[in-house]
Structure 1
Amino acid sequence: MKGSQLGEENGRRSYESLRRTAQALETRADIARAALRLFRTRGWAGTTVRDVAREAGVSVPTVYSTYGNKQGLARALADAADLTAGVPRQLAELEAAAADPPRQLAAMAGYDRRLFERAGDVLRLLREAGRIEPELAAVYDDGRVRADETRARVFSSWPDGTLRPGLDLRAATDVYAALCTVDVYTTLTAERGWSPGRVERWWSDALARELLDR
């Protein structure tokens, strides 16, 4: 086979692989969104794997191969929450503001606002159901760990002297976690009448005040 033909063949194989990956991700997203819709309307106890498969337009074996059993669908809830909040958008904003810690904090606050605005009920469902379902508790805890890891990676990318004196990486992550929670968001929007945008702006300002050495 000539070099040009070999290159074309490799290119076709690469694109086919990318298409298969994209299709698998889309299927995963379809299942996650279907699980989210059903859990919201029927609750955890009232939803079966078969229901999710029917809602997603896929076979029951496809759901099992993607997420496992019903407990595994708790991961679908977490995936759906991430999808609604826009993880790719957050990453793009963080990269665009790589040399600007206040802007990065604002990007992170924006992600949390979208997450709690669009999927706060999912997070509360996981947290409450996790009190009696260990698998759900593990999914909720995993989400918190991933959030802490994202924040720690961002903070550790800053030059020395960016954080306030006396704050190390762990303490900075703790401060962020204490400020930006679904409970704070719910209190301010549902009980105090704040708009989601106002919460996001307050978070951005408060994080900069609490974390950055001015």
Structure 2
Amino acid sequence: MNIERLSENGKSRRKYDSPTRRDQAEATRARIAEAARRTFIERGWTATRVRDVAAEAGVSEATVFAIHGNKAGLAKALVESVDLTADIPRLISELKSAEGDPAAQMSAMVGMDRRLFERGGDVLTLMQEARRSEPEVAAAYLEGRARGDESRRRMFATWPENEFRDGVTAESARDMYAALCNIDVYRVLTEERGWDADRVEQWWRETLVRLLVAEDG
């Protein structure tokens, strides 16, 4: 919507293009978030200050505060950006398409986590550091973990009891999934053991199917 600013005599003095201004604001927000990601990863949470992020983004410190509030606000924005890279709509579509096939659903869930860790693992690791001293970051991190657990709860809730391996319940399946498929395991395998992401995903998929799915499932 175009908004006209009127002079005292009622004549138009200036026009503001609201969509353009919104686009510019979103571009600035994205630039700051990307600068924060680079700066936090390079320097670590403790050593990074808001003015460092502002300088990296090429904006004023006041602009960063206006958009994100404070350092914790920057970290929360990074958590939100990681959620987007996980491609939730794709996961939902794949889970629905694979209804009745536990192994295929497991493959879809593992694939989403692989994408999340591959694209946003550096941010998740940063959040683990930051949440020790920032309650807001801790809350955002735990909220993201809870959303992931809720996705798995919904998936396992669609499985009939006879689809689970003997002794496994929907609740224990979530626990085992969380213990095996997480950013810490991903980092150990890729950074310390030299695995690539394809190998990690395949191992997760095969191991979880073996642990959770009935042999004739």
Normalising TM by the smaller chain, what interval? 0.7 to 0.9
Q: Is the 8 A contact 2:85 2:115 kept in 1?
A: yes
Deviation at 1:202, TM superposition (A): 0.8
2:5 aligned partner = none
Letter in 2 for 1:197: D
Counterpart Cα distance in 2 of 1:206 and 1:102: 11
**Shift of residue 60, structure 1, vs aligned partner:** 7.7
**TM superposition score normalised by structure 2:** 0.73
Q: 1:33/1:87 Cα in 2 relative to 1: closer, same or farther (>3 Å)? A: farther
State the alpha-carbon separation in 2 of the partners of residues 61 and 88 from structure 1: 35
Deviations 1:25-50 (A, max 9, x none): 88876654443233223443455556
Structure 2 residue 36 is the aligned partner of structure 1 residue 35: yes
Asked if 1:177 corresponds to 2:178, the answer is yes
From the two aligned structures, give the one with the greater helix fraction: 1
| Alignment partners' CA distance in 1, 2:72 and 2:204 | 34
Aligned-partner residue type, residue 129 of structure 1: A
Task: Report if the CA contact (8 A) 2:79-2:140 is conserved.
Answer: yes
Q: 1:121: which partner in 2?
A: 122
Match of 1:10 in 2: none
Cα distance in 2 between the residues matched to 1:118 and 1:61: 29
SS across alignment from 2:71: coil
Give the partner amino acid of 2:204. Answer: W
Task: Tell whether 2:100 aligns with 1:99.
Answer: yes
The answer on whether the counterparts of 2:45 and 2:129 sit within 8 Å (CA) in structure 1 is: no
Counterpart CA distance in 1 for 2:150 and 2:36 is 26
Distance in 2 between the 1:184 and 1:85 partners? 18
Q: Give the 5 Å matches for 1:63-212.
A: 67-212=68-213
Q: Could you give the per-residue CA deviations for residues 123-156 of structure 1, whole angstroms, max 9, x where no partner exists?
A: 1111122222222222222222111111001110
Cα distance 1:55–1:93, how it changes in 2: closer, same or farther (>3 A)? farther
Larger Rg: 2
Secondary structure at the residue paired with 1:132?
coil
Identity %: 55
Q: Which amino acid aligns with 2:163?
A: T
Number of residue pairs aligned between Structure 1 and Structure 2: 197
| Offset at residue 96 of structure 1 (A) | 2.2
In structure 2, list runs of 5 or more residues that go unmatched. 1-21
Deviation at 1:102?
Answer: 0.8
1:114 Cα deviation after fit: 1.7
CA distance in 2, matches of 1:154, 1:91: 10
Question: Structure 1 residues 155 and 68, CA, compared in 2 at 3 Å: closer, same or farther?
Answer: farther
Alpha carbons 1:152, 1:169 under 8 Å: kept: yes
Q: Partner amino acid for 2:200?
A: V
Give CA deviations for 1:52-92 in whole Å, capped at 9, x if unaligned: 57877889888667654331222212112222332232222
Change (3 A) 1:191 1:97: same
How far apart, CA to CA, are the structure 1 residues paired with 2:163 and 2:143? 28
Q: Return the TM-score normalized by structure 1.
A: 0.74
Any gaps of 5 or more consecutive residues in structure 1?
1-20
